[in-house]
């Protein structure tokens, strides 16, 4: 299973780069014109077993700050091209490079933030038993429109039931979701609110 999945990842990521290369160049030029030199967003994210790797995406926000030097809310820093890239999930395209490097898979739980690692319950932490993915079971079942608890439950379900057949199903569902632009944002936020941990969320 793991060998087949890795081979599938390499073929899919390589083919995607070749097929989408004209679109990628258009996006690169659009970001350069609209946002300046900062084209890519790089950040350490936890991979399999929580090991950090450098995830890369297209940059969708400016570095705008308030008078105190603090970053403005996400909604204020998103550019029009950034909103478009997020609404179509095109900002994720550079992650195919992470797949080719072996840091990520096409399908798996999404890589979140490093500071979340010590906030998971032992059950939620099982989402790191497999490589993170560009898309996953939680993404095609609500993405940012569902709660953190539901997202993690779906991630762990994938860890326990993952198969090549399920991966193909998730990829097909992802294409449909992207076309329909479903579940891109949470109900009240431009992006998902920070995950503060199970205990803190229970006290809200």
- Torsion angle, CA of 140/51/106/165, rounded to 10 degrees? -70
Q: Which residues contact 196 (CB under 8 A, 6 or more apart)?
A: 119
Q: Which residues pair with 52 in a beta bridge?
A: 46
Look at residue 106 and tell me whether its pLDDT is greater than 80. yes
Residue 204 belongs to a domain: no
- For residue 136, the enclosing domain spans 2-198
How do residues 38-55 score in pLDDT, each as one tens digit?
Answer: 899 999 999 999 999 999
Residue 159 belongs to a domain: yes
Residue 100 belongs to a domain: yes
Could you give the CA distance from residue 162 to residue 156 in angstroms, rounded to a whole number?
10
pTM of the predicted model as reported, rounded to 2 decimal places: 0.85
Residue 132 belongs to a domain: yes
Output phi, psi for 63, to 5 deg: -100, 30
Structure tokens at 30: 């659009």
Residue 91 belongs to a domain: yes
Dihedral sign, CA of 46, 51, 52, 58? negative
How do residues 77-86 score in pLDDT, each as one tens digit?
Answer: 888 888 889 8
Residue 146 belongs to a domain: yes
Place of tokens 């350490």: 44
How do residues 137-149 score in pLDDT, each as one tens digit?
Answer: 999 998 777 889 9
Number of domains the chain contains: 1
Say if residues 131 and 101 touch (Cβ distance below 8 Å): no
Structure tokens at 100: 């080719």
Look at residue 36 and tell me whether its pLDDT is greater than 70. yes
Residue 203 belongs to a domain: no
Which 8-state DSSP code applies to residue 61?
B
% residues pLDDT > 90 (the chain): 62
Look at residue 200 and tell me whether its pLDDT is greater than 90. no
Which 8-state DSSP code applies to residue 41?
E
């Amino acid at each position: 299973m793991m060998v087949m999945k890795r081979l599938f990842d390499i073929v899919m990521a390589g083919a995607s780069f070749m097929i989408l290369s004209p679109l990628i160049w258009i996006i690169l030029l659009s970001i350069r014109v609209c946002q300046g030199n900062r084209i890519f967003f790089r950040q350490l994210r936890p991979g399999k077993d929580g090991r950090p790797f450098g995830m890369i995406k297209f940059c969708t926000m400016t570095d705008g700050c308030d008078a105190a030097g603090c970053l403005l809310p996400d909604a204020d820093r998103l550019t029009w091209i950034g909103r478009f890239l997020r609404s179509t999930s095109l900002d994720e395209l550079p992650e195919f490079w992470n797949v080719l490097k072996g840091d990520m898979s096409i399908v798996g739980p999404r890589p979140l933030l490093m500071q979340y690692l010590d906030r998971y319950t032992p059950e939620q932490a099982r989402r790191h038993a497999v490589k993170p993915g560009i898309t996953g079971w939680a993404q095609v079942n609500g993405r940012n429109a569902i709660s953190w608890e539901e997202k993690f439950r779906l991630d762990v379900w994938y860890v326990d039931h993952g198969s090549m057949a399920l991966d193909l199903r998730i990829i097909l569902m992802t294409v449909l979701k992207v076309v329909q632009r479903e579940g891109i944002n949470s109900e009240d936020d431009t992006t998902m609110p920070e995950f503060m941990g199970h205990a803190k969320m229970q006290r809200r």
